[in-house]
Amino acid sequence: MPTELEPFEVIDGQHRLWAFDEALKDGTLPGDFELPVVAFTGLDVGWQAYLFWSINVSPKRINPSHAFDLFPLLRSAEWLETLSDLRIYRQARAQELTEILYTQPESPFHNRINMLGESSRTAPPGAGVTQAGWVQAITTSFLATGSGRSANGLFAADISAARGPLPWSRPQQAAFLIELWNSIKSAILDRPAEWVEQLIRPQGQDSLDPNPIPAFTGGRTMLNQEQGVRGVLAVANEVFFGLAQIEPDLFEFDTRIQAGGATAPEDVSVALSELAGSELHARIAQFGSTIASFDWRSADAPGLDEGQRLLKRAFRGSSGYVALREQLYRHLAEGPNWLAEISGHALSRLA
C-alpha cells in the first residue's frame, strides 16, 4: 500500500471537485457529503481522451468540434482498430480526413475549416463549416457502412460481395476528396455559371472585381455551408460508389505509398499526383463541372426572387438534406451519360 497520495489527474468533473475543495478550505461546506468517484490507474493519454469524449459527447454535450479535436490522441490507439464497427472509429477516420482537408496545402479548404466550432466572428476567414459538420458529413457519406438504411460509403462498404471494400489508403482517400472539391472550385473559376455571375454582381452591373471566388469561399454560397458540404459529399459518394460497381478498374491504382503508419502530407501529395494521371481523374472533373453549374446560392444571397428564395430555404435542416440531394440528382441527370445513368438510379430510389 502506498503511504502517501500518488499524483493523479482529473479527467472530468474538475469544477465540482474544486468547489468541494474551496468550500472545505474556507469552512463553508454545509454538512457532510459523499462524493462518488471513478478512478483508474495507469491510463494512457488515448484512453483518457476516449473517456473524456464518451463522458461529454454522449449524455450532455460540449462543443462537438472541441471533442473531435481530441481524436488525434485516439488515432494511435491500437484497440480502436479492433472495434471497427464502432461509431467512434468511423468518426475518428472522418476527423483525420477533415484535418487533412484543413492542413493540406493543395486542399481548397486549406485553413478554411472552423476547427474549434467558434462563432463566425472569431472563426478563421472563409471557414464556413465547423469541424463537427465535416466529420458528420464524411461519416454519413464516404464512411457509411451500408448497413441498415445507411448509404454505401465508397471508403467503407463492400463494392460487391466478391470484391470487398476499396483497398485505398488514407492518403488516397484524402487525395480523392481534395480532387473532388478542387474540380468544383476550378469549374467555378474557369467557367462561371449563370448563378456565379448573379452572385458576384446581383444588379448585373459591371463589377470592378469580377473574381468568382466568393461563389466558392464566400458566405452566400451553400458550397461553404453545412448543407452544401453534406449535399456534395452525399451525392459524390453515391455517384462514385455506383461507378466503382460498374467500372471497378477505374479505382485500381499502382501506388508508391506505404500502407500503415501515420498519414504524412507528402503521402497525400503523392496520391494526388497519382490520381492526376488516372482515368478516374477525368470522371471527377466531369462530376465537378456538372455540380458547379447547380445554383449554389444560399437563401440569403442577393438577387433571388421570391420563388427561388422559398426553394433555397427548404434546404434547411435535415429534411432539407433530402430535398437538396434530390435536386442535385436531377441536375446531375443532365450531365454526361455515365453520370446521368447513375443519378437516374439514385433518383428512382429516392422517390
Binding span for DNA by CB under 7 A among 2-10, 30-38, 157-165, 296-304: 296-304
Kindly state whether residue 198 participates in binding DNA, applying the rule CB under 7 A: no
- Closest approach of Cβ 227 to DNA, in Å? 5
Given the complex with DNA, which of 127 and 272 has the nearer CB atom? 127
Residues 6+ apart with CB under 8 A from 339: 239, 286, 287, 290, 332, 333
Residues 276-295 interacting with DNA (rule: CB under 7 A): none
Residue from 223, 235, 257, 299 touching DNA (CB under 7 A): that is: 299
Q: How many residues bind DNA (CB under 7 A)?
A: 34
Regarding 226 and contact with DNA (CB under 7 A), the answer is yes
Residue 120 sits in the site that holds DNA (CB under 7 A): yes
Of residues 179 and 226, the one with the C-beta less far from DNA = 226
Using the contact rule CB under 7 A, the part of the chain among 16-24, 236-244, 318-326, 327-335 near DNA is 318-326
Q: Which of these ranges, 180-188, 192-200, 297-305, 332-340, lies near DNA under the rule CB under 7 A? A: 297-305
Binding flag, residue 348, DNA (CB under 7 A):
no
Q: Does 150 bind DNA (CB under 7 A)?
A: yes
Question: For DNA, which is the closer residue by CB, 225 or 290?
Answer: 225
318 part of the interface to DNA, by CB under 7 A = yes
With contacts defined by CB under 7 A, name the span among 32-40, 45-53, 122-130, 159-167 that binds DNA.
Answer: 122-130
Q: Which of 43, 77, 106, 145 binds DNA (CB under 7 A)?
A: 145
Closest CB to DNA among residues 207, 319 = 319
Closest distance to DNA from the beta carbon of 172 (Å):
23
337 is a site residue for DNA (CB under 7 A): no
For residues 93-129, one letter each, b for 16 or more C-beta atoms within 10 angstroms of the residue's C-beta and e for the rest, the string is bbbbbbbbbbebebbbbeebbbbbbeeeeebeebbbb
Q: Is 242 in the site for DNA (CB under 7 A)?
A: no
b or e along 281-308 (b: 16 or more beta carbons within 10 Å of the residue's beta carbon)? bebbbbbbbbbbbbbbbbbebeebeeee
Pick between residue 264 and residue 310 the one whose CB is nearest to DNA.
310
Task: Please list every residue from 50 through 69 that binds DNA, using CB under 7 A.
Answer: 61, 64
Q: Which of 7, 15, 32, 149 binds DNA (CB under 7 A)?
A: 149
CB of 331 to DNA, least distance (A): 18
Check binding of 316 to DNA (CB under 7 A): yes
Q: State the residues that interact with DNA by CB under 7 A.
A: 61, 64, 86-87, 119-121, 128-130, 132-133, 136, 140, 144-145, 147-151, 225-227, 298-300, 313, 316-319, 321-322
